[in-house]
Structure 1
Amino acid sequence: MGPRRRPSPSPRPSERLRSARRPDRDRAPEPAADTKCQRPGPDSSPGRSPPEVGLVAAGSSGGIPGHRRLQAPNPVWHASCIASAPGEHTGVKQSELMGTGAEGGYGPLVVASRATFTRDPRPSSGARDRVGELERWLARREQAAAALAAVGRDLVQAFDPYLVGQRITDSVWELVGTESAVLFRLDPATGDLISVAASGNVGSFEGPTLVLPRGTGLEGLAVRERRLVSSPNLLTDPRVGRGPDRRRVARGPCRAGVSVPLAVQGRVIGVLGVGDRVGRAFAAEEIRLIEAFADQAALSLEQARLYEEARRRGAVLEERRTLLQTTLENLGQGVSVVDGSLCLVAWNRQFLDLLGFPPEFGHVGKSFEDFVRYGAVHGEYGPGDPEAHVRDQVEQARRSDPRVFERVRPDGRVIEVRASPMPGGGFVGTYTDVTERKRRDEALRRSEAQLRQAQKMDAVGRLADGVAHDFNNLLTVVAGRSEILLRQFPPDDPRRRHADLIQEAAFRAADLTRQLLAFSRKQVLQPKILDFDALVEGMHGILGRMIGEHIELRCQCQAGGAIKADPSQLDHIIVNLAVNARDAMPAGGVLTLETATVDLDEARVQSHEGARPGPHRLLAVTDTGAGMDTEMRAHLFEPGTGLGLATVYGIVKQSGGHVIVSSGPGQGTRVEIYFPVVAERPESADPVMRDVGLPGGTESILLVEDQEEVRTLAREVLQMLGYAVREASNGREALRQVDAQADAIDLLVTDVVMPQIGGRDLATQLLARRPGLRVLYMSGHTDDTVVRHGVHDPGVAFLQKPFTPETLAVRVREILDRPSG
């Protein structure tokens, strides 16, 4: 702000004030000849008593030198002569102001000037003139007090140092009657003095402000010495610098001056400089007035500095708060910060959204108890008294213990809550929606359980595969030889009983092998397109006899699409489930068989390994028995449970379906089996085998089998049926025979797994030599082994060991009777 220039047309107020007083304006009016003046007090003596000007606290008797912060001036005039003693009168002029006294108390202050006269009681015209002059003198002091009050008002109402500074320099310039008054602030970085406000004639300078380099001028001297300095002639004062500094003074209008350093808590922050014509000597009262305004100026500059510092800190805090809030909003989880009094101090939108709080809850100071009460009323903490929930939650929060727990919200979402205590009380809460993670964990748990189950099945399967081949070869020989004996004995031959027992034991052993392979999902299935409902209804009579009359059998079948499965294995599933249900109802009950068509969606098949969405045929077997607990259901399909449901599980999984079991103690058991629906039409039932004789022929057959007992049995059976049979113990021998003889070969009957050359490779090489050759594969190995050897492809003829002479005869004739090509 540029210096204020003095208007030229009218005289300044100081001139008006100067014209109304004596040349020695710092002296009180001289008393008349008949008037004696004395200073009031116990040690007063005759003589002149100079007027005393100062700030007096209302209600106190002591004066307060200097000034303090003044507010709301309320001038009250009290012009009177007060009799202090017989023959004495005191003239008083005072103003009441609001401010802070020396002792720190805030209240009314009195600015007062007092002069005490002792005179003869007889009236005197000279005395009356002196009283008038005293009134004018007191008026000037009142003007100074009003100016100080105005500055105090500005200090209270504004933090602008330029506004307050301009009023200060204007007041000093007018009241003291000088050429100029300039308020400088000290630049702490450079030490330069930079003008804040100026009044009067300050001369010319460059730029918007007047800058005094560090340590120059009377002002710089005041800064260095940290005290008031004055000089009647700056050009001759040795304390003022030489060179440029002296030339600056010489060019300016002022030769005399007073500079008062502005100090706050021992720090010099600026200077109030007053300049006038050469030879000007400043009276003590003028010095005190300048110092009073200097104090106000120091307060203004410090107040502005503190305000600016507070504003800057506020801006930094706001920037940090914005950064913090932005960070919180981008965390991807809810966050709340509660202080030691359990009031909200920071949060983000996710916190309100995750826990379902309304937006108006998001404000600083919101009570934690309000949040808990809102949640309790809306069912966040389950049933019970909401206020009891509030008390419990608030008590836990006051303990500030670290906690991690999961809360299931009424809408089913699972929220993980972590509460971390803060030093001094309160806590930071983080809230994460873990619903999807819980679902993934559950899916992973199920997958791991399924994997463990599959590993168990695989272990049993490898065991089954290791024994199935040799066991089936032995059973083939036992069953085949017993059937030959039965066909050789007459019906009334007593030896037939022994052969029947042998054959029955072989069949039971073969069935046990099939169950073991079915349980491990390793058996060789021969699936067909089946009429599902016809097959289930066909089991009604057999099941009724099997479960007994104490159990009611109900069949509820709904017509639907066909399925692809091995019919013998499907019979085995139904029988197994019926036997389990019967055993669960020793005292009787109801066994219900149901069929229906069910369309499975993605959600329903996720938890079932290998299941696919789409239409399925449902077979449900329900009993009213004792039911099973959770532990029993967990081990339902494991090995060692009697090969009941474990066998069912293996057959169903191998057929592309899946099983669901529902049960509870005292609630019975329901087993649901789902088979995918196929578009093909059901195949016709197998023709009934004739009991009279076995089909035979005269075709040429090449028999290749590495197990001698099996090979011998098959050769004898085929020869008995009229076929011309050549045999070989392995693939290499078979190739040599074919290459050595040109005779026709109508059918190749070969084992699948043999040393050197397997059955599939042998058939490939012979078909290259004899196009049109028909092939029948046989094996006692499991499904995996047969598949690996490429024999389970559609259209490939296969005979599973163990087989009987009748099965062999029928299968050979069936293949030979097929149209060629």
Structure 2
Amino acid sequence: MTPDEIRPELAAGAEDLRWELARARADRERAEAAQRRAEERLRLCLDQSWDAVVFLDDGAGVRFVSPAARTLLGIRGEALPGRDVLALLAADDRAVVAEALGRARRGPGIIGPFEFRVRAADGTWRLLEARARGLVPDGDGVVVVLTARDLGDRRTLEERFADTERTEAIGRLARSVAHDGHNVMRVIMGYSDLLLATLDADDPRRAQVESIRRASEWGAVLTGDLLRAARDPEIASTTTDLNVVVSTVAPMLRQLMGPGVELVTTLDPLLGRVGVAAGEIEQLVLNLVLHMRTALPQGGAVTVETANVPGGGVVRRSGEAGVGGSVMLAVSRSGDEGRDVAPLVEPWVDAHEGGDRVLGLADVHQIVKQRGGHIAVSSDSGGSTFRIYLPRLEDMIVTAEAIPEAPLPRGSETVLIVEDEKPVRELIRDILRLHGYTVLAAREGNEALTIATRHGGAIDIVITDVIMPGLSSRDLVARLAAMRPGIRTLYISGYTDELIGQHELRSVGSDFLQKPFTVDALARKIREVLDAR
């Protein structure tokens, strides 16, 4: 072909080549842009990931460290690349990690999880959980990706959860034991009251029964404290009579007084109650009395006194207004010839006498402050006195007018008792029969319905525990009301009024009596409900 003939073909080929080069350049630019976008997405993922990510080469050398890994180890990223990752690990863990990395290099799939310890920049050891995956080498030297997360927080949470489960298990056991023990104490108290009602004032057996009554009352107080410690809603609203606590611990304290030291108790018979656990009151009395005893090496007297204090009777040292109705617990000593009171108020003082170690007063101060109370200390030539003032529960104040002097009310009506605890059920039955009532007794709701269906006479009132197995007390009362219109209802329970409200039992025609109750309280309450018709 002549040059003139070849020239057009060369021009056309050159044009095609230019288009091919342009397309190749565009494809390369698009590929590079896509790669940059992929790298940017990967960087964003690594930046946002809470897991530490480390790229390793064939020799376990570090090639890349993610921000999370830098934060976890407390180091800058450039401080790691090129270092052997195994050198950062605890010696005991290196073999496990080396074996996992080797498996990741040799085959596909994710290896792990496995655990190891790594030293952070501050010298502390971090426990990590990791996974490894091998990559096909592509020239950048990266053959393994290692991802890891800190197990420290999770292990802490697991330990806390285990502790919580153990605490709950102990609480359930404590509730079970204390609940049964509390019911036993209720029965002993009830039958003691019945026995006392049959004994003359000069009967020598009366003192023995009264001792049983006091012991059972204290047992009920202690089991109540155990229930509260187990966070049981039952008897959470139980109040404490300081006189009962002082009378109970006084015999033991007298044995601890030592030669020449006398314990005297002066208790107000009309004392109000306080919302403080009996166990805490016992701790207050023991600590204060024993502190006073150690200050009387030459002998003397320690006096424990209780009294009601009217509004304005207590003034805080800060100058605040006087506390409204309060109950005072005073512990005083005489025979020390007005010794300096400073050692008494030192919260952490330890006193020793005859090898006995007496607790400091920090516990006393903490209990009183937590319960909204106040401590006053005085000292003069006659001795020294601690006075503790605790808020008085106004609805529990005992007055002369409140002391029942009239005979307990009696009745002739028919009562249906529904109580799943047999001893409690039998106690209520015996109390009511003693006061003239005809009594029908059932263990649970369905049995009560059967009795109500078969009984040919009237049933004037049903006394039912709030929390019952099987048929609920609310459904039982509704079905009894349909069967016997006009029947009255008295709910009994050791649970708080708040919990009672959750069961929607404040219906028309019903009333409530809090456990534990006395013979007096039950006799008067049932009469009150029946007479309200």
Q: TM-score range by the shorter chain?
A: 0.3 to 0.5
Higher relative contact order (CA 8 A, sep 6+): 2
- Structure number with greater Rg is 1
Higher helix share: 2
TM-score, with length taken from structure 1: 0.34
